[in-house]
């Protein structure tokens, strides 16, 4: 949009401007209606998968022959990818679309071309990356995600078990388990030297979980407020970020007591471009998820790059 006039003046290319959110939703609805296996979520591992994820450590008495199970921290076994079939038809609305970029925007989608931004948060991918630049020496976002994969957040976060004990009767009364986070970064409060014993990967992992947990709770509360059964998460923050996807899947299941799922999409990075093209060509989905076709078919592209109604011989592109 910013350089549309320059493109036309110097290159002879007219930019057919489309609204960003309109394009995103249009591309998403089109893909959900026509692409099999587009939607997925994460579920707990099977018993066999769990057993293969167990490692051992020496017991406190120093007997190297004895070992006890030591499970991966904060994974909660939510790493099994499960496909979810979905068709964008009338009974699928309304649903929430949570876009996680630099910040967070929450949309309620009520039907084709019917959506409204209902909420958002300033704590998003930009927050995570900005703080990581202060806390670590990593130079790019992909590298900090790789760093976080190796981190142990239990060295940073105060867990419920740190407050009540890991086998306290109080946990049953509270309905909590010992490995639930009670306070993000809370364990550093009582340390004389907060950095003692910590690695950069521990900070990166704890910070990632803190930001992701906040996004998940904002999404769930909005789903409750607006009575939506489905929550879709998209955005650059989730690209190549399995840790956050799995955490969101666990969090939405936890807060909803198993009644809701966090849903993700295979090609979400292309929805804006696809939707822009569809809107420019006048192609839309009706209430039953069917593609509205012109006489020349759903993809009627003229030599001049525009529909026949315009009839203007020039190059154009959607943006």
Helix (H) / strand (E) element for 67: namely: strand 67-70
Tell me the CB-side half-sphere exposure of residue 198, using CA atoms within 13 A: 24
CA gap 313, 319 in Å, rounded = 19
Phi then psi for residue 209, to 5 deg, are -65, -35
Pairing of strands 95-100, 104-111: antiparallel
Given phi > 0 = left and psi -120 to 50 = alpha, else beta, which region is 297? left
Contact (Cβ atoms closer than 8 angstroms) between residue 127 and residue 136: no
Q: Which of 20, 38, 57, 142 is catalytic?
A: 20
Handedness of CA 57, 62, 64, 66 (dihedral sign): negative
DSSP string of 162-207, one letter each residue: HHH-TT-HHHHHHT--TTSEEETTGGGTT-SSTTTT--HHHHHHHH
CA gap 213, 247 in Å, rounded = 7
Phi then psi for residue 283, to 5 deg, are -100, 130
Is 20 in the active site? yes
Handedness of CA 131, 138, 124, 3 (dihedral sign): positive
Q: Which residues are catalytic?
A: 20
């Amino acid at each position: 949009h910013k350089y549309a006039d320059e493109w036309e003046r110097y290159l002879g290319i007219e930019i057919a401007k489309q609204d960003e959110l309109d394009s995103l939703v249009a591309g998403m609805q089109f893909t959900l209606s026509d692409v099999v296996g587009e939607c997925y979520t994460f579920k707990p591992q099977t018993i066999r998968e769990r057993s293969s994820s167990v490692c051992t450590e020496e017991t406190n008495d120093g007997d190297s022959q004895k070992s006890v199970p030591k499970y991966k921290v904060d994974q909660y076994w939510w790493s099994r990818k499960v496909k979810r079939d979905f068709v964008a038809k009338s009974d699928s609305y309304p649903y929430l679309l949570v876009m996680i970029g630099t910040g967070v925007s929450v949309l309620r989608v009520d039907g084709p071309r019917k959506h409204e931004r209902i909420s958002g948060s300033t704590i998003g991918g930009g927050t995570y990356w900005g703080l990581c630049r202060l806390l670590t020496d990593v130079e790019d976002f992909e590298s900090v995600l790789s760093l976080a994969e190796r981190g142990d957040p239990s060295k940073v976060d105060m867990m419920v078990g740190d407050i009540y004990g890991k086998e306290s009767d109080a946990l049953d009364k509270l309905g909590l388990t010992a490995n639930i986070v009670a306070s993000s970064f809370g364990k550093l409060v009582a340390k004389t030297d907060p950095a003692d014993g910590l690695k950069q990967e521990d900070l990166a992992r704890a910070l990632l979980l803190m930001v992701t947990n906040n996004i998940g709770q904002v999404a769930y509360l909005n789903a409750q407020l607006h009575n939506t059964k489905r929550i879709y998460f998209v955005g650059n923050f989730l690209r190549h970020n399995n840790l956050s996807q799995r955490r969101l899947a666990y969090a939405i299941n936890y807060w909803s007591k198993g009644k809701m799922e966090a849903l993700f999409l295979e090609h979400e990075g292309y929805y804006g471009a696809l939707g822009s093209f569809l809107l420019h060509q006048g192609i839309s989905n009706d209430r039953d998820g069917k593609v509205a076709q012109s006489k020349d078919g759903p993809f009627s592209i003229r030599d001049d790059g525009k529909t026949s109604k315009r009839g203007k011989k020039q190059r154009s592109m959607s943006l």
